[in-house]
Chain A
Amino acid sequence: MSAIMMAHSDHSINELLDQARINQDPYRAAALHPWLDGSQRAICEKIIFAHRRQPRLFAQASYTPVSLLQRLAREKDQITLNKLVKNTATPTKVLKQLLQGDDDRQRQDAVAAHPNASAALLDSIEDQESSVRREAICYNQNTGLMQMYRLLERASLHECKGMAQNPHADSTLLRQLWTAFGDQYLRAEIASHSNCPTELLSAALNSESTLLRRKAAGNANLSDSQLVDLLTDSNAQVRVASLRRLEHATLSLIDDPARRVRREMARKSVLDSQLIKNLADDEDHWVRRWVARNSVAPESVLRKLAKDEQTEVRRGVARNSSTPVDLIIELASDAESWVRAAVAIRSDLDEEIIQQLHDDESVDVLAGLGRNPASPQALLAHIAVHPDRDVRRSVALNPRASSEVLERLLEDPYPINRATLCRHPALGEDELWQLTDDAQEQVRFSAVQQLCSRGAS
């Protein structure tokens, strides 16, 4: 990105860089880093590396720009490098850069376990003699098929379990793993794998082991008829696992003795009317709660559940997109604020209900209204100065909040609210500039980052 890129008609990247330099602010410098070229980056890096502790902080932070992570990978400080290799945001190209000419075994082990390490990188650090390295590579989801075949020759049962979870394992490898130890946990992982060979899946489905049948029931390749057959399994966990993969629940389960099966049924988007009716009368309130949330629940059932003694059930009705308006109005006056809060977050609220909730004293209700895109700007302006910081933050999270309303949060005493504010697309650029001079470093970082992003788009 060019140094002459304008972040705003009146301000430029150069002004931001000047700010960072005058204040010797590593956070503004870090946010600017990816947008600068050679000589300007050098200015930023001088600020960032002025104190030994600061690079270490950036090396472990999830928000650090990739360009800065790349620069940090060239550091000599061992603590910085150790933090960098453990940072889950470090991309594979930086990990690769880190390993060049680095013979530190612990860092290599950390790369082997890193979720961003590519198959090629993992291949390059294979060490059959090291159990730590082998285990890390076996459990890394990016490990390639050919490397797994090589590792299989010396793999322990524990390592085989890791490979059985790898999405790149093919049917041939899974067959070899199946016969390797005869361990039921290993076989259970294979049974749930999307590349599990048909004969092994069949063996698992017909196994006496509940674990094997349950994991097989979760296999994405099972047909609907196979899943329906599993609904008659004697084990409730197996029935739940198969039900979870089905779009609908069958009437055969209407009297299922297991609560967990009935709870799973209550969440289905295709439900027989008799089944819904039965579930709505269930003694378990979690079952009733899921029916109350279910958009296929008929009006009569919702009206009944709206009077349920359990708060969570009534809240479920309040959140249901199929609930009729008159019922929503009724729930907006519920004695429990948790139910009224569920009404407050509905984006389809009309003015009458919003007015009804306007004077509510519950922080949950007000935070709901604050986030609600249907709330009028006058109400948002009122909520933006509420004494509770979490209520105020809800306005910063409202995608429809106007720039005038958002200005009220510019001097919010809670730093997280100001940092959240920076990311709001409606916040004016002058206000963002104001936040680049904030007392809190994360706010300054976010403000500079946003200004640069806006200038680039």
Chain B
Amino acid sequence: MKILVPVKQVGVLDEDFELRDDGRDVDPDYLEHELNEWDDYAWEEALRLREEYGDDVEIIPLTVGPEEAEDGLRKCLAKGGERGIRVWDSAMEDSDPMAISRVIASVAEREQVDMVFAGTLASDHGFAQTGVSVAGRLGWPQAAVVSNLEYQPGASTAQLRRELEGGLEEVMTIQCPAVLTIQLGINEPRYASLRGIKQAKAKPIEELSHTDLGLSDDQVGVAGSASRVRRMYVPEKGQAELIEGTSAEQAQRIAEIIKQMQGEA
């Protein structure tokens, strides 16, 4: 029984940043990278199942990205799991979620996995599309924003709860195999032990290109994408107000604003 967990090293913006010369993304000089928070929860959910049901459950972290993205896989493997997969080559630059999902679905088929746990969204671009698109490509059922999961590996269904608007939660049963996008708070991700971190350095990470997965050049990168970022910019400030003056003046102004918001002034 295999669970595939796609993870992403997301870009974290510096306090000050500049956009690329083409105006379509942030200058990478201003980005730090870290494992997407949602993916940390998804991996923890996979780890939890493996711990509960034993070695019959294989959990595999997968990332689609250049060499630096391997850090994210190592972070996962430091907590558990025996191997990881990284897919990348130059033709995959500028892939959108549709193209990325094609790659992930190909790996899922190649590995013959039984479930896919993805993060609900990635904190950098926030499309929230990759997981659900993978389900579409595989023809599997999917559930998004999963906040609780009861699943016995190998079972034909899983019970889960999903977060909805207005604080509502939905309890549902889903047919397996399925793709679940995992919400923050579903569990408490662990910290890797020192031994785990050292061991992770020696764990194998299989490196694949799109052709290894049987994908053609026009199925990845810009050619394989359904969307294209035209422009990225910082919008003009809206209602933000810089409160100046002495501390007494600032307190007075804050009190005025609170009263205005309460409809008292």
Interface residue ranges, A against B (CB under 8 Å):
52-53, 57, 60, 79, 82-83, 158, 161, 164-165, 185-186, 188-189, 211, 215, 389, 411, 413-415, 438-439
Contact = CB atoms under 8 A, between A and B. Distances in A.
B248 interface: yes
Contacts of A52: 29
29 contacts: A53-B32, A60-B15, A79-B29, A79-B30, A82-B16, A158-B244, A158-B245, A161-B246, A161-B249, A185-B245, A185-B246, A186-B246, A188-B246, A188-B248, A211-B248, A215-B248, A411-B193, A411-B195, A413-B190, A413-B191, A413-B192, A413-B193, A413-B194, A414-B191, A438-B194, A439-B192, A439-B194, A439-B197, A439-B198
Contacts of A188: 246, 248
Contact of A165 (B192, B197, B246): B246
A161 B245 contact: yes
Interface of B: 15-16, 29-30, 32, 78, 190-195, 197-198, 244-246, 248-249
Contacts of B190: 413
Contacts, number: 45
Contacts of B32: 53, 57
Contact of A189 (B29, B192, B246): B246
Contacts of A164: 246
Contacts of B29: 52-53, 79
* Closest A-B pairs by Cβ, 6 of them: A439-B197, A413-B191, A185-B249, A413-B193, A185-B246, A411-B194
A82 B191 CA distance: 34
A414 B191 CA distance: 6
The listed residue with most A CB atoms (<10 A of its CB), out of B16, B29, B32, B249, is B249
Nearest to A211: B248
B191 A415 contact: yes
Interface hub of B15, B193, B244, B246 (most chain A Cβ within 10 A): B246
Nearest to A158: B244
Contacts of B193: 411, 413
B227 to A, nearest CB: 29
A215 to B, nearest CB: 7
A186 B30 CA distance: 41
A82 B17 CA distance: 11
A189 B250 CA distance: 13
Contacts of B30: 79
Contacts of A439: 78, 192, 194, 197-198
A82 B29 CA distance: 14
Given A185-B248, A186-B246, 20 more contacts: A52-B29, A53-B29, A53-B32, A57-B32, A79-B16, A158-B244, A158-B245, A161-B245, A164-B246, A185-B249, A189-B248, A215-B248, A389-B191, A411-B193, A411-B195, A413-B190, A413-B191, A415-B191, A439-B197, A439-B198
Contacts of A158: 244-245
